[in-house]
A and B are shown apart, each in its own frame.
Chain A
Amino acid sequence: KQEVTQIPAALSVPEGENLVLNCSFTDSAIYNLQWFRQDPGKGLTSLLLIQSSQREQTSGRLNASLDKSSGRSTLYIAASQPGDSATYLCAVGAAGNKLTFGGGTRVLVKP
């Protein structure tokens, strides 16, 4: 059974610092990996999707890498802003289009 872990559970950084969020998974037979953002009391917003054949994806200040062999993905957010404060979730996709989620990392960017 796939297990997805995100460490740390919470992270606080000063504005302008780069953010590094980690995601690890136990089964390397994945279809894709998706990073989401969740604001308090809201649904999930998709940030990036990395297909299993890809090593990274970029969108603006966001860059996500994928290393299937080691079971790891990292989300980098450059030059963090207070508006980046949210919970970030990674989810691993497998056969049947089912996603398995990590517990999330709660980020606070201090002005």
Chain B
Amino acid sequence: DGGITQSPKYLFRKEGQNVTLSCEQNLNHDAMYWYRQDPGQGLRLIYYSQIVNDFQKGDIAEGYSVSREKKESFPLTVTSAQKNPTAFYLCASSFVGGSNYGYTFGSGTRLTVV
């Protein structure tokens, strides 16, 4: 079945450590996105990519980095510069170029600073 796989489901980070969240899709979607979800807040866009080897900052990119070396993969690194990284991270993908294209989401990664 086609879909988006996020791993790991739970991740614990020590202070000053970088961690990388994985996102893989087999839907042949062009675009991929990373969102952050905090309790009581809507989803906020971190980074997005519409084509391999190209990506753009979203609304809250500081302290995060991404790469898009393959169409299927869009890993997110949470760096030590991100002061409040504890949150639920969601990856999504979509086709581009038409209003009939919706997003498909992964099951999320919950990151906790210990």
A residues adjacent to B (C-beta < 8 A): 4, 31-32, 34, 36, 41-46, 49, 51-53, 89, 91, 93, 96-99, 101-104
Q: Tally A-B pairs: CB < 8 A.
A: 63
27 interchain pairs (CB within 8 A)?
A: A31-B99, A32-B102, A34-B102, A34-B103, A42-B108, A43-B90, A43-B105, A43-B106, A44-B103, A46-B102, A51-B100, A53-B99, A89-B43, A93-B99, A93-B102, A97-B31, A97-B101, A98-B33, A98-B45, A98-B48, A98-B58, A99-B33, A99-B45, A101-B35, A101-B42, A101-B43, A103-B41
Task: Tell me whether B40 is interfacial, beta carbon within 8 Å.
Answer: yes
Task: From B40, B99, B102, B103, name the one whose CB has the most chain A CB atoms within 10 angstroms.
Answer: B102
CB neighbours of B35 from chain A (8 A): 101
Chain B residue at minimum C-beta to C-beta distance from A42? B107
Are B42 and A89 in contact (CB-based, < 8 A)? yes
Knowing A42-B108, A44-B105, A46-B104 are in contact, say whether A52-B99 is a contact too (CB < 8 A): yes
CB neighbours of A32 from chain B (8 A): 99-102
Are A49 and B102 in contact (CB-based, < 8 A)? yes
User: 17 more A-B contacts (CB under 8 A) besides A43-B106, A98-B33, A98-B45?
Assistant: A4-B42, A31-B99, A32-B100, A41-B110, A43-B105, A45-B105, A46-B102, A46-B103, A46-B105, A91-B103, A97-B31, A97-B94, A98-B58, A101-B42, A101-B43, A103-B41, A103-B42
Bound together, the chains give a CA A52 to CA B98 distance in angstroms of 11
CB neighbours of B100 from chain A (8 A): 32, 49, 51
Bound together, the chains give a CA A101 to CA B103 distance in angstroms of 12
Are A104 and B90 in contact (CB-based, < 8 A)? no
Are B108 and A43 in contact (CB-based, < 8 A)? yes
Q: Report B15 CB to chain A, min CB distance, Å.
A: 25
Bound together, the chains give a CA A36 to CA B104 distance in angstroms of 10
CB neighbours of B42 from chain A (8 A): 4, 89, 101-104
Are A97 and B90 in contact (CB-based, < 8 A)? no
CB neighbours of B110 from chain A (8 A): 41
CB neighbours of A99 from chain B (8 A): 33, 45, 103
